[in-house]
Structure 1
Amino acid sequence: MTTSRTAPFPPVVSRAQLGPLGVPIGSPGQCKAVYPLLGKPGYLFKEYRPTQLKPADPLRLDRLVRLPGQMTTADRELLEQSVSWPVARVVEGATTVGVVIPTAPRQVYAKIVDAYGEAADVPLVLTHLASQDDQLARKGLAAPSLAQRLTLCGGLIDVGDLFERHSLVYGDWGYKNIFWSAERLSVYFIDTDACSFGPQPWVESYGFEDLQTRQGQMVDTYTDRFRCAIAVAACLTGDRNQHKAMGALGGLMHDERVQRIAPVLRCIVEARSRTTRPAIAEVRGALRGTTQGTTLSAGPLSSTIVGWDPVEPPPRRKPAPPRRSPPARSSPRPPTEPTVPIPPARVYGGSAPSSAPTRSSTGSAPSLQAAGGAGETRQPLPPLTRGESAIAAAVGLFLLGVLIGIILLIIHFV
């Protein structure tokens, strides 16, 4: 492939200068369509939807187009081999309508058997790499060995580190946005024209859910670190479930390279603060053996990952407020009512005390079932309250008045 230094286009090109277009290819996704340039083999025109760009996007795209010319030779070569990087911004008049990008290398294509048993020549994506051996066999693909998976993951890490060193946020770490070659054991990133210099608006990446970057939050370098770590764990273990992939790393510890990178991946995924996630360069150094990477004081690798479980924990119930004890009294007050012994607590239907009687099976009225049975000693009735005493006194005075009135009437008539 050619880089933007040698691409046969100026940094900004009109749509008319692209020449004839071929039949749209692939699934357009968020863009309007992708056309092969018939007059410029090896290049594609990615046409945007009218509402896809923001006012600042043309300047961002121009920076992306110029960036390879500011890189070292090694970085430019990595970009050329592993990334479909935009080489020109396409305009119609003063309006940006798309970008020119390189086509994916031929070696990322393979014959894959679909659900109907028919083989088709399609790009290998990370969805295939992050699959178990039996799943790959059903698609007619040879299962890569652990050594091959480590080489492919090294490509993921190298590109992730390249982006981070140049202050780029990729954001869209999707399993279908990265191709790989079983022949050359290489990777190829697409949709990189959406890269930003610094944080960018929320980008959904299915399978890369990060609880520390909630939906609606800005996606940044710390998000990219998390998503890169999950991609590496999934492709090493053949499992796209975050929990299972992180836990399955423990079963690959017979390889010293896994021994070196697994603790760093765990640090990234388990970090309680997103800003403390180790840089992708640490994963790269650990894989190459040039650095020891970051280690944890915790125990062996576990599938219980702190802070990123896609299943929300249940809300915690607030504890009941403690009972307030009555204020201390300096001297006892004289009782205003006669003191009545408090009956002992009854037991309802069991050995433990209960705060309420049990309801009878008919539901008509509560029935007290004492542990002592029918021979239980009756307890004295509880005392009347002040209100009940006042009512009883008033009723008594009323009845007394009625009685006196009747006696006076009898005396009068007799």
Structure 2
Amino acid sequence: MNYTEALGYMKKAAERGSVLGLSRITELLRRMGDPQDKVKTVHIAGTNGKGSFGAMLTSVLKSAGYTVGGFSSPAITKVTDSFRINGEEISEQDFADLIGGIAPICESMDEKPTEFEVLTVAAFQLFADRGCDMALVECGMGGDLDSTNVIKAPVLSVITNVQKDHSAFLGDTIAEIASHKCGIIKAGRPVYFGGNSEEAYEIAADTAKKLGCELFIPDYSQFSWSEDNCTIEGAELTYKGQELHIPLLGTYQFENAVNVLSCVEILRREGIDIPETAVRDGLANVKWHGRFEVISREPLIIYDGAHNPDGIRCAADSIRRCFGVKKVVLLIGVMADKEYGLYADMLGELTETAFAVKPDNPRALDSKALAQALNARGMKTAPYDDYTSGVRAAYDYVKQHDLPLIALGSLYMYQQFTDALKDIMI
């Protein structure tokens, strides 16, 4: 099977829709020899921060000499972006080979697996084939019924935080959402909770107690960090007296780093050797895209995949810390199921003007509807039916007025934005 054929098969799987339940993926994995049981795994759930957490911890473990697999979603560029070995995206042929081995088994099943189930199985098979020492596996959504929740005994279960998102599937309250995410906690295995919701913490603590798990939370007394040190060059923090540099931008990366460093201590307790030099070097060399990422410096253009109210709040805080009183220009596109009406309240005072576009996704909100909602709350916003035209208008504006451009609203928009920008800047 070649890459085009593999994509064709995934399109066929996508037509089956999203069907809850773990019976199909469990059966598919059984027929493949249960590759998910052959690699030590850190299982990661949470509303925000999963990708940055995984990138940082991967870099630390790689620096410690381990071969580390990574599975994340959604894919930011193309499907291969969801699969990584030591932080590097797999090749198109690697992906084709994985799907070529899985597809015939899927087709032999009475109840065919869904697209995400096939992708999840491909990740587990990849990690087993490559002999990974550790795999970092993100939940796609929620936890208990997520396709990744077939890991029987993770080295560590991580819940980065719990905020309101995917309410149509996970519930309207923090308690309901936390209950789903805490479904990844497994009997007798350690669990880390890094969020700041007392309600979500209580559910995590109750679940851990029932399952006989030791629950860990961050000890902020071990950390110090100055928001003045958050610039477009990254951030500095001190952990147990050791000064550390993180090249990832955004004030929220401090919280992600706290979670990673806390989990490093837990992994050490579990027998994973991680020297201090690996922690320092791993954080200093971490790479991750789509999270307050500098795309261009002349003019200054940043992309942030903030896609829910908590993410937008963090993006607004990062804009404020990096640019002070200087206004920015926004290019924004969102999914229709997000609480986008709130975005103007958080971003309006920071924004000179905004350009609304529609991401290339079936769930995307029309640019006119987005602009109407933002204008109604006082944020000057112009809609563009044609995506590239919207990017060009925003680019021309920042060039003319010497202002930073911040593109945000959805990770699904990253590839579309960078492609359009590349054509404009040629």
Tell me the TM-score normalised to structure 2 length: 0.24
Give the structure, 1 or 2, with the largest relative contact order (CA under 8 Å, sep 6 or more). Answer: 2
> If each structure's strand is expressed as a fraction of its own residues, which one has the higher value?
2
Tell me the TM-score normalised to structure 1 length: 0.24
Greater Cα radius of gyration, structure 1 or 2: 1
> If each structure's helix is expressed as a fraction of its own residues, which one has the higher value?
2
